[in-house]
Amino acid sequence: MRYFKFIVLVLCISACSSPKKGWVHMNHDYIKPVDTKTKPIRYQSVKTYSIGSVGSTNKFPGARLSNFSILNDSTFRTTISPENTPINESPWYAFKIWSDTPRTIELELYYTDHEHRYNPKLSMDGENWTGLDTSFIELDDNKKHARIKLNLSSDTLWVASQEIQDTKRVGAWVNSFNGNEAVAISEIGKSALGRPLYFMNLSIGNDKKKPTIVILSRQHPPEVTGYFAMQSFVESIIKDGSSNGFLEKYRVLVYPLLNPDGVDLGHYRHNTGGVDLNRDWSEYNQTEIAQVTNHIVNEVALNKNNVLLGLDFHSTYHDVYYTPDESVKRKIPDFTKKWLESIRVELQMDDINEQPGAVTRPTSSGWFNKQFGATGITYEIGDNTPRDFIKRKGEVSAKAMMDYFLNK
């Protein structure tokens, strides 16, 4: 009888001490799996081009310029090619251009694949950007190529699809919170080429057993507007969450740059493994996703955190929230509707543009649900959404999220 009781006790202890599902790094099955094994990419030739008095270069992080040539006395061509194919239609370009003598030129943006998507942003210093007036942009009949007029001088002009937010600039933003009691900053690892994977832990007091929210950004290099929204969202949590009690009750894990290699190499979408990282949240073939998912799982296991929500910030043609539909079982099923309605009312919008769907592909939003039973949402910002509205929307979204959880 004693032996029987001992066996029962051992089995009970084993069962009680076994880790919860969300605390174990697991592979997951999806209805629409994606092959994320490493594929070859084409590295652009990093060089400075000189044609008469006009020069152009891609010698800086975030640049993409596959070739620079002349068509006639006043027309030049920038050739823009992706890192590999097939690939999403996000033709990123970024280069510097100048002329030894002041002149106006026509510049053809010539895409070897896909159509023109991003109207140029201009800068004289790489920090302050303005959009090129649309009257200076002409598309051909099939939108395959664009011609733009540029006024050049010996002062270098930066031309890019979107404002450049490379690894160094992201790192400067992250480190600007050094010394803030609510923020702990670290690097959780390195990309395939050795660039840092930044991490911000937002919390006041002990992290143990705190319900947790996870925030991601820049899986896809050109998606700068989504990154801007993430910045505003996180800054609002740090500022308001330190005073309203949110960060004393909840923990927020922030991974602001998941694809630093792709960002600094000026990629359309993929990492140096030639893979869309937002399709690798099942097999973890790419080192960036393997490290980030391992870190999330290990952090919440160590501190016995309950992950409730995962937000992944992206960009597309217009603002939209991709949310789980009613078929997706989750811990906080009422969050999405209440959160989005609060945002809509505060911003006085007629339509918040929610697009619910099932968990079918190995994306981050699906992973949050399968790994933790959490609500996973892809927060998309339009390519051309005004920057002041992006900031305001990020602030309002963060406040609405905190209000929801503080009133639970």
Determine which of 3-17, 119-133, 371-385 has the lowest per-residue pLDDT on average.
3-17
Angle between helices 224-241 and 387-406 (to 10 degrees): 40
Tracing tokens 């009949």 back to the chain, one arrives at 141
Identify the pLDDT of residue 21.
Answer: 76
Identify the pLDDT of residue 283.
Answer: 96
What amino acid occupies position 346?
E
Judge if pTM exceeds 0.85: yes
Tracing tokens 């602030």 back to the chain, one arrives at 395
Sort 12 into a burial class: Cβ within 10 Å, 0-12 / 13-18 / 19+.
exposed
pLDDT band of 19, cuts 50, 70, 90: low
Q: Give the Cα separation of 250 and 244 in Å (integer).
A: 11
Residue 333 Cα distances to 146, 211, 309, angstroms: 46, 16, 11
Identify the pLDDT of residue 314.
Answer: 98
Is residue 294 pLDDT above 90, yes or no? yes
What amino acid occupies position 349?
M
pLDDT digits (tens, 9 = 90+) for 308-328: 999 999 999 999 999 999 999
Domains annotated for the chain, with CATH where assigned, are 19-39+165-406 (3.40.630.10), 48-160 (2.60.40.3120)
Q: What percent of the chain has pLDDT over 70?
A: 95
Backbone torsion region of residue 301, taken as left when φ is above 0, otherwise alpha when ψ lies between -120 and 50, otherwise beta: alpha
What amino acid occupies position 233?
F
pLDDT, mean of residues 90-113: 97
Residue 199 Cα distances to 193, 293, 345, angstroms: 18, 12, 32
Q: Six-digit token pair at 33?
A: 């799996």
pLDDT, mean of residues 336-363: 98
Identify the pLDDT of residue 11.
Answer: 36
Identify the pLDDT of residue 143.
Answer: 78
pLDDT band of 22, cuts 50, 70, 90: confident
List 78's β-bridge partners, or say none.
68, 109
Identify the pLDDT of residue 15.
Answer: 37
Q: Six-digit token pair at 314?
A: 């992206």
Q: Give the Cα separation of 396 and 291 in Å (integer).
A: 31
pLDDT digits (tens, 9 = 90+) for 161-209: 999 999 999 999 999 999 999 999 999 999 999 999 999 999 999 999 9
Q: Give the Cα separation of 148 and 135 in Å (integer).
A: 9
Radius of gyration (C-alpha) of the chain in whole angstroms: 23
